[in-house]
């Protein structure tokens, strides 16, 4: 048998090129495997997009809080600039915005918010269906809470965020307002970006440690050890907060004043309030154990009394002023 190989090979090559030719026509169905154009940048919302709605200032909105949780039923919106960033982890799952009248916490319930809401960026918030609530003196906007311990819940659900929080134009970052002993008491400064000057370290902390003496975790009060006694010093906590590792180290060094004899449920990061005084006012700089600077030591100069100015979000907790740093650049020795 003799084959005409060249002919056969030619027909094979022809078939192969037909196969390749066919397949280079774009795919079948909506499955595209080649190039994708990059998506367009977000279009930012402007006032015109909210033409049919009623604009209220943040101060006006907060004033609507009747003393109990309020689910907003009117078609109103607020507009403000983002002043917080959760980049360092000290602000968590929440976002602060302010306009010229006031600031307010938006309980977003998402992490990594700084990726999508830039400091200085304008945001519009349609308030209808959201809830105003009070937490220890702070009026915030979130979602109706089913937990009686809290007046509002984190929004959490992307669909609620997408239908209530709208990105506006990028603006310049808001400059912090420099407070005085007098203006710190002005409620309109709460939840805004401020600088508190003249703070002097008090060598006092507030830190609530959880342990489990009786195995009953429902018994909340009895499971806490409060490190807050005036005159007890800072319990050796020279950092802004306690990471898990640092907590463990402290525990084994018996720094927690007797805690070593009790059982931890588990070691976790802890938030710490470091006390500072501003004349007759006391301001706690409260930092999360999850923040990136938690284990940073407070400059010994500060601990030995050098006055500082601190910049962050001003909050209040049962009448006590607390400052939430966005990051450590908010601390400046004067």
Partner 1 sequence: MKKYIILLLAVLVSVPSFAQFEKGGIEGRIVSRSGRIPVPQAEITVRNATGDILQTESGDDGTFLISGIPAGDYTLVVSAPGFATGRVQVEVEDYLKDIFFVSLQPEDIMMDMDDAMFADFDMDDGGYQHVPSTLSTSSDVFDNVAGYDFSQVRFRVRGFDSSTQDVYLSGVRLNDALTGYTPWSLWSGLNEATREKETVSGSALSDYGLGGFNGVTNILGTASSMRKGARFSVLTNSSFYRLRLMASYATGELDNGWSFAANVSTRLGGNDWIQGVYYRSFAYYLAAEKNINDIHRLSLSIFGSPVQRGAQNGSTQEVYDLVGSNYYNSNWGWQDGKIRNARVRNNHEPVAVLKYTFTPAYNWSLDATVVYRTGRNGYSALDWYDAPDPRPDYYRNLPSYMYMEEADYDKRDAEFQAGWATEAWLYNYNNTRHINWDRLYNVNYNSLDDDGNKRSKYIQEERRTDQNDLNLALSTKWISDDYFTVQGGVNFRWNRTEYYKIVKDLLGGDYYLNIDQFAERDFASDPVKIQNDLDYYLAHGEAQKLRQGDKYGYDYYANVRDANVWADFRFAKGGWAAFAAVQGGYNSFWRDGLVRKGLFPNNSLGKSEVAQFFTYRAKAGASYTYGPHRVYANAGYFNDAPYFAESFVSPRTRNTLTPNLTTQKTMSADLSYSFSKNGYRVRVTGYYARINDQTDLMSFYDDSQHSFTNFAMSGIDERHAGVELGFEIPLPVTGLSVLGALNWGDYVYTSTPYVTQTVDNNGELVMDNLPVAYWKSNNIYKKDPATGSILTDAFGNAEVEKVQKHYVPSTPQVAASLGLSYRSPNYLFAGIDVQYFDKMYLDMNPLYRTDMAVMGPDHTWTPQEEEYMASQEQFPRQFVLNANIGKSWYIQRKYNIGISFELRNILNNQALRTGGYEQTRLIDSTNGERYYKFDSRYFYMYGINYMLNIYFRF
What is residue 183's DSSP assignment?
G
Candidates 23-31, 56-64, 171-179, 303-311; binding stretch for partner 1 (CB under 8 A): 23-31
Q: Which two tokens stand for residue 49?
A: 């997009």
Least spacing, CB of residue 152 vs partner 1, in Å:
11
Is the CB of 100 or the CB of 219 nearer to partner 1? Answer: 219
User: Taking Cα atoms as reference points, which of 251, 272, 248, 250 lies closest to residue 261?
Assistant: 251
CB atoms within 10 A of CB 290: 17
Residues 185 and 281: their CA atoms lie apart, in Å, by: 9
Near partner 1 in 88-127, by CB under 8 A: 89, 110-112, 115-116, 118
Q: Quick one: which of 228, 277, 296, 320 contacts partner 1 (CB under 8 A)?
A: 296
Provide the 3-class DSSP secondary structure of residue 187.
helix
CB atoms within 10 A of CB 70: 18
CB atoms within 10 A of CB 133: 23
User: Taking Cα atoms as reference points, which of 73, 69, 74 lies closest to residue 107?
Assistant: 69
Q: How far is the CA of 314 from the CAs of 48, 236, 253, in angstroms?
A: 32, 26, 34
User: Taking Cα atoms as reference points, which of 202, 231, 234, 180 lies closest to residue 305?
Assistant: 202
Is the CB of 147 or the CB of 230 nearer to partner 1? Answer: 147
Residues 310 and 328: their CA atoms lie apart, in Å, by: 9
Residues 52 and 288: their CA atoms lie apart, in Å, by: 41
Candidates 35-43, 45-53, 58-66, 98-106; binding stretch for partner 1 (CB under 8 A): 35-43
Give yes or no for residue 30 binding partner 1 (CB under 8 A): yes
Give yes or no for residue 20 binding partner 1 (CB under 8 A): yes
Give yes or no for residue 31 binding partner 1 (CB under 8 A): yes
Q: Quick one: which of 11, 175, 183, 222 contacts partner 1 (CB under 8 A)?
A: 11
User: Taking Cα atoms as reference points, which of 64, 314, 76 lies closest to residue 195?
Assistant: 314
Is the CB of 60 or the CB of 144 nearer to partner 1? Answer: 144
Near partner 1 in 39-58, by CB under 8 A: 39-42
Give yes or no for residue 224 binding partner 1 (CB under 8 A): no
Near partner 1 in 241-260, by CB under 8 A: 244-245
Q: Quick one: which of 3, 6, 258, 261 contacts partner 1 (CB under 8 A)?
A: 3
Give yes or no for residue 33 binding partner 1 (CB under 8 A): yes
Give yes or no for residue 19 binding partner 1 (CB under 8 A): yes
Q: Which residues bind partner 1 (CB under 8 A)?
A: 1-3, 5, 8-9, 11-12, 15-16, 18-20, 22-23, 27-33, 36-42, 87, 89, 110-112, 115-116, 118, 143-147, 153, 155-160, 162, 215-218, 244-245, 265-266, 268, 292-296
């Amino acid at each position: 048998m003799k084959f005409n190989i060249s002919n056969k090979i030619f027909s094979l090559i022809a078939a192969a090129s037909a196969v390749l030719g066919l397949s280079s026509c774009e795919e079948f169905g909506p499955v595209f495997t080649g190039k994708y154009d990059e998506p367009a940048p977000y279009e930012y919302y402007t006032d015109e997009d909210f033409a049919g709605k009623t604009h209220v200032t943040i101060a006006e909105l907060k004033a609507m809080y009747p003393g109990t949780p309020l689910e907003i039923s009117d078609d109103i919106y607020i507009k403000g600039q983002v002043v917080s960033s959760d980049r360092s982890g000290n602000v968590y799952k929440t976002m602060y915005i302010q306009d010229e009248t006031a600031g307010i916490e938006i309980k977003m319930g998402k992490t990594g918010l700084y990726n999508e809401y830039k400091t200085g960026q304008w945001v519009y918030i349609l308030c209808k269906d959201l809830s105003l609530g009070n937490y220890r003196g702070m009026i915030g906007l979130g979602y109706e809470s089913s937990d009686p311990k809290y007046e509002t819940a984190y929004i959490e659900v992307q669909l609620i965020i997408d239908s209530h929080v709208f990105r506006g134009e990028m603006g310049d970052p808001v400059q912090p307002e420099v407070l005085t002993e007098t203006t710190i008491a002005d409620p309109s400064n709460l939840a805004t970006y401020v600088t508190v000057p003249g703070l002097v370290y008090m060598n006092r902390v507030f830190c609530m440690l959880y342990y489990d003496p009786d195995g009953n975790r429902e018994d909340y009060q009895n499971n806490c050890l409060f490190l807050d006694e005036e005159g007890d010093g800072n319990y050796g906590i020279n950092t802004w907060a306690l990471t898990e590792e640092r907590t463990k180290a402290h525990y084994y060094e018996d720094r927690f004043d007797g805690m070593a004899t009790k059982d931890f449920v588990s070691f976790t990061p802890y938030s710490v309030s470091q006390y500072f005084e501003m004349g007759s006012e006391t301001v706690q700089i409260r930092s999360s154990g999850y923040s990136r600077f938690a284990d940073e030591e407070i400059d010994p100069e500060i601990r030995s009394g050098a006055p500082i100015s601190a910049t962050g979000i001003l909050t209040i907790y049962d009448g006590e002023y607390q400052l939430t740093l966005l990051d450590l650049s908010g601390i400046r020795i004067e």
